[in-house]
Chain A
Amino acid sequence: MTLLEAIIAIPIVAALAIAFGSPTRPTAMAAAAINLLLILMAFAQYDLSVEGVYQLAGSHPIITVPSVEQPGAQSILLGLSTGVDGISLVLLLLTGLVTLAAVWVSPAEDQIKGSKRLYYLSSLLISAGALGAFCSTDLFFFFAFHELALIPTFLMIGIFGSGPNRVRVAWKMTIYLGVGSMILLAGLVALFVALGGQSLQFGDLQGWANAPAAIASASLENGIFLTLLIGFGILVSLFPFHTWAPEAYATAPTPTAMLHAGVLKKFGLYGLIRIALPMLPNGAAHWQTLLLVLLVGNILYVGYVTMAQKRFDLMLGNSSVMHMGYAFLGIASLNVIGVQGAVLLMFAHGISIALLFALNGHLRKRFGTLEFDRIGGGLGKLLPTLGLLFGFAIMASIGLPGFANFAAEVMIFFGGFAGLYSQQEGIVIGPVQIATMCAIWGVVISAVYGLRAYRNLFMGPLPDSSKERKLVDLTLAERLPLILLIVALLVIGCAPGLLIKYLIPSIENISHLAG
C-alpha cells in the first residue's frame, strides 16, 4: 500500500470503525490528524526535480486489455491508480487541514441530536471522497470518489440541518448535484470514447490527447468541453447553476458546510484543470468567452446578491459562490500564472471559507439565529476572541495582503491582464481583460459585505437584549482548530512560494497554456 492509498484508506477505515462501535470523536480526530501528517509526509517525499509524471504512484489494475501500442502486452483499461502532481498535492493539504478542523469543531457528542455515529462518519466519508478524487489518476475513480460524498451530505443536511427549509434545501442540492454529476459522467465517458476508448488512466488519455488531431472533429471536441464545463460548473456553482449552494451551506451542519464549501466544491475546478484544459485545448479556447460571461455573473451578480443578504450564513454561502468566479477567471485566462492563481485560490478560499463556516457555527450555537438584526452589534466587547478570529477570517476572505487569498487573487489578475500589452499591437482589451476589470470590482463588493458583516456583529453599542444573556467566549478547545486554519492562511499568504514551487512545474506541464 502506497502512501497515497493509505491517505485515502484511513478515513474510510475510521468511518467503518465508527460504524462498528469505535468511540466516535477520538477515532475521527485521530484519523484526521494522522492523515494530515501523512499528507505532510507526501510533501516531503515529492521530488520537485521530476516533471511530467504522477509521483508516489501506485496502481491496481482492474481491467486490462491487449495493448494498442505494444502488441502482445497488456495495458490497463481501468485500475485503482493513484498519484499526485503539485496541483493535487496542494489540494490534499487543503483537504487534510479542513478535515481536521471540521472534525475538531464538531459538537461534543452529547449535543448531537440523532445518531452520533452518522455525524462523524459522514464527515470522514466526505473527506475520503475528496482525497480519493484528488489522488486518483483514473477517470473512473476520479469521478467515483467525488460521488462518495453525495449520500453523506444528503443525510447530514436532512437529519442535522438547521432552519425551516432543510428538507427542500437538501432535495434541491441533491437533485442539482445529481444532474450535474450525470452530465459530467456523460462528458467524461464521451472524452474517454473520443480518445480511443482504450484506457481510463490519466497518463494514457493525456498522451493520446497530445497527439495531433486526437479527437476526430472540432465540433465533437467543443461539445465534450461544453458538457464537461456544465457538469463541473454545476458542482462548483458556476452562474447560473449556483442557486443550490448558498442555501445548502446555510442549512448544513457546520462540519458538512466546511468540508463541502471548503474542499469538495473544489473538485469541479480541479477537474477543469486536470482534464478539460489539458485534454481539450481547442474546446477550452472555443468556449472561453462563454465561460468569461458566466464567471462575471458569478462575481458581479452573485456579489450584489451577497450584499443584500440579511443573514450571516446566507451571506457566507453566497460569498463562496462569488469567489468561485475568481477561480474560474484564473482558468479562463488560459495562461500559466492565471491557472496557478486559480489553484492557490482554491487552497486559500477553501481554508478561509471553512474558517468562516466554523465561526458561523459558533455564532449559531450562541445565538440560535444568524440574522444580523436579531443578533445586534457590539459583540466585540462580550466575545473578544471570537471577534478577533472573526476579523482575521473576514480580512482573509476579502483578500487583504498577508493572507493567502491576496496572493492568489493578485496572480489571477496578473493572468487576466497578461495579454493587455504587446509590442506590435499596443494595448489590447479583449474579453479576458474586460472580465478581469469586472472582477476587480468584485473585490470592492466583497470588502463592502465583509466589513459590513463585521461592523453589524462586533462593533457599535451592545443592544439591551444581549446584556442579560450569558455569552461565553471561545474556549481553548474551540480556538485551536480556528487558529490552525488562520496560521495556514498567514503562512501561505506571507510565503506563497512554499506552495507555488509545487504548482509551477505541474501547471507549465499543461501544454497549450500561454507562458
Chain B
Amino acid sequence: MEVTLNHFLFVSGLLFAIGLAGVLVRRNVIVIFMCLELMLSAANLSLVAFSRFNLTESGGPDYNAQVFLFFIITVAAAEVAVGLAIIVALYRAKQTTDVTQINSMKN
C-alpha cells in the first residue's frame, strides 16, 4: 500500500482530535497541557506532510513549511517553560492541579 497525503492528514487529524478531547475532558492541568502539545504536534505532522507532497518547481519539497515547523517547536518549548512555572506556582498556592478546583472567581 502506498502511503498518500491523505494518510498523513488522517493521522494528524486524529492526533488533533485526541488532543482537543483531552483538553476538554481531563481535569488535571498537567494532562491538559500535554494534550495541548499533542495538538501542536498534529499541526507539525500536517505541515511536514504538506511540505513533502506539495513539490516545488524544482521537484524538491517546499522547505517553507519545514522551517515553520522549527519555529513551532521552539515556541512550544517556550510555552511549556512558562506554563509549567505557572502550574507549579498554582500548586504551591492551592495544593491542587485539578481544574475544577480553580473556581474562586464567580460573580
Answer yes or no: A and B touching, Cβ < 8 Å. no
- Chain B residues with CB under 8 Å of chain A are none
